[in-house]
Each structure stands twice: as structure tokens, then as C-alpha cells.
């Protein structure tokens, strides 16, 4: 087939924008790139809004508070996807916009789970683990379950046959129901807003699946002489990437060594805004706003993209759309495979109270596990973020209430409602109802009864893909189907496939672009990093 002559990128969220950014760096300037975006803005679920306070609560004419309606922080680690996004931040000249949250700050160390009618702190060290075990109801009975882990039952026949298992089943086998339902389900609520009994341990907790396969235990102290083997052809590629990225960003990454998470002074929107500015400067990028794609057709010289405003043919198309949206644009069998990746919706409720220090504890926030009975969580909440602590102005002992992102002090919270809880219930889309539920929750659970000065509810429909049991096998089938139906001219990226975090979305977009350009546009699906090997 012919080389890359023109490119369409479907979807202008963080995956689509990152794809365009790496394309502008990899392709000659004469190759036109077109972004198709169904809405009137780029950035997808990353959205930060600055609200001016009501006049009665202002000290100056422009006193404001910033609300995040989607992702709010980036985690710092030595994983290649993390180092890659900081490489991007450096290249976009955003370093001075960063807010660094130290690992030793209360926002980083103090994280909580609501259980047994109270907030329980999660241990952040071995001494704290022993202390909390005897003082917090959340941890009752867990020590013995951890000690028994190496002697637990082997993988059941059903999991062997399907080569996958739900997180709930896997963790219950290895650690028992207490740890699974109280701790693990809470963590999964915070990342995926998902149900541990539906989500795939192989796709989401791959390292634990591999440990059990190799060692018969998931605890690293039991690894004996064996090492974790991998047939992953991309593992060496990721190591080479990581080495190069660390060398290129040594000074910057060294400065982040004591940092847990980061945000931006003007919110996560800064990242997508700067990406947009950068790609448009290249001169060969066009954005088609408010122009949803209706159909994709494989033709001799490329792919014809039919949208609400017309039809155009491109030699290659990168799709950063949610899998089920892409399914509506394609034909069977690919369409059926794409529909197997569901997603959940979350209503993000932002609240700002003019009175500082309203919270009973200081820290990042708390999550609600499945173990919390319905009567203690009728709002179907997933968690609450203490935004005024999470990015506070002072992370020392005398922390000043308020956020770097706000011009005034106060208490700022985000309540997340829904997720998998709405799989069997009607989702709450109404603005006022969502705010009422959030206020009801924080009044009952943490005693915040004041009336917020500002309140905003944002219904994020189908915002988090769910990697259900069988996801890895489905990726392999999608890989084969997309190559068969589009001959390597349609490349897939985005949160539906290889990772839901912002870091993952950016890095996977980079890999998809590099693979496509390296092979001159031939025989790529974008899913090779997982689809080409099993484990």
C-alpha cells in the first residue's frame, strides 16, 4: 500500500491531541492532518473552569475558584508513560505552570477509605500499617489474610480455560474477601469507577497475574530464584524509551524525585490548551469542530471519512474515539468486537465553601468500597476529593487552607457519583439533583453542612472504559479484524484499549504514531503492544 500522504485523527481529546502532536513531529510539513471533533472544543474529558465568586464573597473584583471536571493530577513515577508525559510537559514549556505535591505532604500520605460509618486512613508506611491495624475498623482481620496468601488455592479451572479472571475473584482467592471488598474495590472505584467482579485482573493488574503464573504467589518476597518472564516484544522497546527519556529529562526528573503528584496552576486544561497551540503552529493541521464522523469506508487509495459536514478521503486514519463510538462507524466483525468494551458514566460534582478547614481530616480525599452497605451510600458515590488540601499552598505542618489554583481561601471538594453503580440504576444526569446528592453525602459522612458558595455538576457520559474479563483476548481479535478490514490504514489509540490514565493515553498515542511512521503506514493496528503476545 501507499505511504502516508494525508491523515485524519478522529477525536480531539487528550489521545487525539497527543496523536496529532507526535504526527507533526514525525511527518513532513506537506502532509495534511485533519482533526475531527464532535464538540465545539478540544480536550475531551479534561476540562478546567474558572468561576468568579459571587460578589458577596469577593475580596477583590476577580476573586475566583478553579473546578476540574475530569482528571486533576498526574502521578510521578519511573514508569515510561509517566516520564514520557513530563518530557511532553518540558517540550511544551509548561514546567513553570506545575504545582508539585511532595511525597511527604499530608495530601500525598493521608488517603482514606470510608468504612463502618467513619473515615479510615490508609497506611503509608510499615509503622503506620501496624498502628492502623489495631486502631481502624477497616483493617480488622486482614493481617492473617495477608500471611495466608502464599498458601492460597491455585488458579481455578475456569480462569485457566479463559486465561483471565475478574479482579474480585482473583483477589478473593489470594487475599480473602475483607481485603478485596474493603480495599481493592475502593481503589478500583477511584481509578476505573468500575466493579471488581467484572473487570479483568489480567488487563488491569497484569503484574499480579504474571506473579501468580510464575511464582504461585503475588507477594514479591516469595519469588525465590525465578524471575518474571515475558514474551512481550515491546518490553525492550519500553526500556529503551525510558532510558532515552530519563537522559533527555535528567535535570527535570531529578527535580521531581520528592514529588508524588503534580497539577497545573490553571488546571489540567493547560496541558490540552498548550498542545492545541503547538499543533496548530505547525501549519499543516486543520480542526473540524462540531463535525461528528458518521462512517468509515475502506477504499483503494485510503479511507473515506464521512462526517456531518461532508466526505473526505485520507491515506491513513487514527481513531482516538471510544470503542463503542468507533463501532457505529464500522462494519462487522470489527464493530461487534468494539462493542464488547463497555464504559461507565460519572457525575462530577464540584463544591466550594467560603469557610476554610471544614473537613474533619486533612489529606487527598476518601473512597467508598463495595463493602459499604447501600444505606450508608444511597447516593451511589465513588469517592470525595479534598481539592483544597490536594493542591494546597503549603504542604508543611502549618498548611494554609486553600489551593494554588484559587485566589481565595476556603474548602473545595469534588464528589464523584455513579460509575458501575449506574449499570443497574438510572444515572443521575440532572445538575441540581447531583448537587443535592453530593451535599447529602458529605453532610452525613464528614459533617459538612454549610451551603456552598459555588456548586457545579458535570455529567461525564461514558467517560471511563471498562476492561472486563476477556479484554486481552478481545484486543487480539480487534487487532486482526482492523487489519483485515482496513489493511493497516486505520490505527487505533485512546483509553478504550491499552490504558485509561492521561499518562497512558499520551504514551500509547506516541507508540502508535512511531510504529506507523517507522513502517511507512503498513500493517499497523495500534494495538500491537498487547495484541502480539500473551501472558
pLDDT in tens, 26-84: 999 999 999 999 999 999 999 999 998 887 777 766 788 999 999 999 999 999 999 99
Distance CA 69, CA 48 (A): 6
Residue 21: name the closest of 103, 100, 89, 77 by CA: 89
User: Can the peptide bond before residue 15 be classed as cis, meaning omega within 30 degrees of 0?
Assistant: no
pLDDT tier at 257 (50, 70, 90 boundaries)?
A: very high
Q: Could you tell me the pLDDT band of residue 400, with boundaries at 50, 70 and 90?
A: very low
Question: Is residue 15 predicted with pLDDT exceeding 80?
Answer: yes
Question: Does 464 have pLDDT greater than 70?
Answer: yes
- Secondary structure class of 284 (helix, strand, coil): coil
Three-class secondary structure of residue 141 per DSSP = coil
Quick one: pLDDT band at residue 137, thresholds 50, 70, 90?
A: confident
Task: Return the DSSP state at 21.
Answer: H
Q: pLDDT value at position 396?
A: 44
SS3 state of residue 178:
helix
pLDDT score, position 507: 98
SS3 (DSSP) at 370: coil
Tell me the sheet residues that pair with 490: 317
The count of other CB atoms within 10 Å of the CB of residue 323 is 23
DSSP sequence for 204-253: HSHHHHHHHHHHSSS-GGG-TT-------TTHHHHHHHHHHHHHHTHHHH
Q: Which ranges of 329-386 does DSSP label H, i.e. alpha helix?
A: 334-338
* Band of residue 244 on the pLDDT scale cut at 50, 70, 90: very high
Of the candidates 214, 183, 184, which has an alpha carbon nearest to the alpha carbon of residue 196?
Answer: 184
What confidence category does residue 132 fall into, taking pLDDT thresholds of 50, 70 and 90?
low
pLDDT band for 235, please (50, 70, 90 cuts).
confident
**Share in percent of the chain as helix, strand, coil (round to 5):** 40, 20, 40
- Give the domains, in start order, of the chain with CATH numbers: 7-44+267-341+468-531 (3.50.50.60), 53-107+343-465 (3.90.660.20), 125-222 (1.10.3110.10)
**Is residue 314 within 8 Å of 7, Cβ to Cβ?**
yes
* Phi, then psi, of 95 in degrees rounded to 5: -60, -40
What is the separation of C-alpha 9 from the centre of its chain, rounded to a whole number of angstroms?
A: 21
Write down the pLDDT at residue 125.
Answer: 67
Distance CA 153, CA 144 (A): 15
pLDDT at 229: 59
Checking DSSP bridges between strand 490-492 and strand 454-465, what pairing results, if any?
A: unpaired
Candidates 484, 488, 485, 492; CA nearest to 530 is 492
pLDDT for 397: 41
DSSP one-letter code for 79: S
Total number of residues shown for the chain = 535
- SS3 of residue 351 by DSSP: strand
Q: How far apart are CA 488 and CA 59, in angstroms?
A: 59
If DSSP codes are grouped into helix, strand and coil, which group holds residue 22? helix
pLDDT of residue 395 exceeding 60, the answer is no
Confidence check: pLDDT of 107 > 50: yes
Per-residue pLDDT of 286-325, as tens digits, reads 999 999 999 999 999 999 999 999 999 999 999 999 999 9
Burial 129-155 (b: 16+ CB within 10 A, else e): eeebeeebebbeebeebeeebeebeeb
Higher-pLDDT residue of 402, 308: 308
Residue 403 pLDDT grade (very low, low, confident, very high; cuts 50, 70, 90) = low
How far apart CA 17 and CA 510 sit, in angstroms, is: 11
Report the chain's mean pLDDT, rounded to a whole number. Answer: 92
Beta strands in 285-360 (DSSP E): 285-288, 293-299, 302-307, 310-314, 316-319, 343-353
Provide DSSP, 55-69.
GGG-SSTT-EEEEES
434-445 confidence digits (pLDDT tens): 999 999 999 999
Identify which of 318, 313, 310 has the alpha carbon closest to the alpha carbon of residue 302. Answer: 313
With beta carbons less than 8 A apart as the criterion, state whether 306 and 297 touch: yes
Amino acid at each position: 500500500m501507499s505511504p502516508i500522504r494525508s491523515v485524519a485523527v478522529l477525536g480531539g481529546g487528550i489521545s487525539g491531541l497527543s496523536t496529532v502532536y507526535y504526527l507533526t513531529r514525525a511527518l513532513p510539513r506537506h502532509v495534511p492532518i485533519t482533526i475531527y471533533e464532535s464538540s465545539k472544543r478540544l480536550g475531551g474529558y479534561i476540562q478546567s473552569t474558572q468561576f468568579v465568586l459571587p460578589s458577596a464573597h469577593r475580596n477583590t473584583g476577580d476573586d475566583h475558584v478553579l473546578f476540574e471536571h475530569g482528571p486533576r493530577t498526574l502521578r510521578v513515577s519511573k514508569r515510561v508513560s509517566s516520564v514520557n508525559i513530563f518530557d511532553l510537559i518540558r517540550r511544551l514549556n509548561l514546567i513553570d505552570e506545575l504545582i508539585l505535591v511532595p511525597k511527604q505532604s499530608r495530601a500525598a500520605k493521608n488517603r482514606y477509605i470510608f468504612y463502618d460509618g467513619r473515615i479510615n486512613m490508609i497506611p503509608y508506611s510499615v509503622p503506620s500499617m501496624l498502628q492502623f491495624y489495631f486502631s481502624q475498623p477497616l483493617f480488622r482481620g486482614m493481617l492473617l489474610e495477608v500471611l495466608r496468601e502464599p498458601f492460597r488455592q491455585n488458579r481455578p479451572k475456569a480462569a485457566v480455560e479463559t486465561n483471565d479472571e475478574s479482579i474480585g475473584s482473583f483477589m478473593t482467592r489470594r487475599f480473602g474477601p475483607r481485603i478485596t471488598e474493603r480495599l481493592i474495590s475502593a481503589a478500583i472505584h477511584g481509578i476505573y469507577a468500575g466493579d471488581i467482579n467484572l473487570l479483568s485482573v489480567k488487563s488491569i493488574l497484569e503484574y499480579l497475574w504474571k506473579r501468580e503464573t510464575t511464582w504461585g504467589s503475588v507477594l514479591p518476597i516469595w519469588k525465590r530464584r525465578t524471575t518474571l518472564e515475558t514474551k512481550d516484544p515491546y518490553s525492550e522497546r519500553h526500556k529503551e524509551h525510558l532510558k532515552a527519556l530519563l537522559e533527555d529529562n535528567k535535570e527535570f526528573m531529578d527535580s521531581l524525585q520528592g514529588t508524588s503528584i503534580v497539577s497545573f496552576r490553571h488546571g489540567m486544561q493547560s496541558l490540552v490548551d498548550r498542545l492545541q497551540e503547538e499543533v496548530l503552529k505547525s501549519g499543516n493541521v486543520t480542526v473540524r469542530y462540531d463535525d461528528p464522523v458518521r462512517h468509515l469506508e475502506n477504499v483503494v487509495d485510503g479511507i473515506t471519512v464521512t462526517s456531518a459536514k461532508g466526505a473526505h478521503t485520507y491515506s491513513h486514519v487514527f481513531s482516538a474515539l471510544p470503542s463503542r463510538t468507533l463501532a457505529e462507524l464500522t462494519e462487522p466483525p470489527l464493530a461487534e468486537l468494539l462493542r464488547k468494551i463497555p464504559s461507565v458514566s460519572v457525575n462530577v460534582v464540584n463544591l466550594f465553601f467560603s469557610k476554610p478547614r471544614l473537613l474533619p481530616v486533612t489529606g487527598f480525599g476518601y473512597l467508598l468500597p463495595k463493602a459499604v452497605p447501600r444505606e450508608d451510600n444511597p447516593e451511589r458515590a465513588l469517592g470525595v476529593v479534598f481539592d483544597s488540601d490536594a493542591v494546597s499552598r503549603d504542604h508543611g505542618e502549618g498548611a494554609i487552607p486553600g489551593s494554588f489554583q484559587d485566589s481565595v481561601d476556603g474548602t473545595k471538594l469534588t464528589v464523584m457519583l455513579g460509575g458501575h453503580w449506574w449499570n443497574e440504576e438510572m444515572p443521575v444526569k440532572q445538575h441540581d439533583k447531583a448537587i443535592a446528592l453530593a451535599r447529602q453525602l458529605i453532610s452525613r459522612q464528614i459533617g459538612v453542612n454549610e451551603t456552598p458558595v459555588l456548586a457545579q455538576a458535570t455529567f461525564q457520559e461514558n467517560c471511563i472504559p471498562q476492561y472486563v474479563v476477556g479484554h486481552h483476548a478481545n484486543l487480539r481479535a480487534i487487532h486482526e479484524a482492523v487489519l483485515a478490514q482496513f489493511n493497516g490504514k486505520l490505527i487505533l489509540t485512546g483509553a478504550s484499549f491499552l490504558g485509561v490514565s492521561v499518562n497512558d493515553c499520551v504514551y500509547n498515542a506516541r507508540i502508535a504514531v512511531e510504529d506507523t511512521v517507522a513502517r511507512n503506514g503498513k500493517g499497523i493496528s495500534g494495538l500491537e503492544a498487547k495484541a502480539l503476545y500473551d501472558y
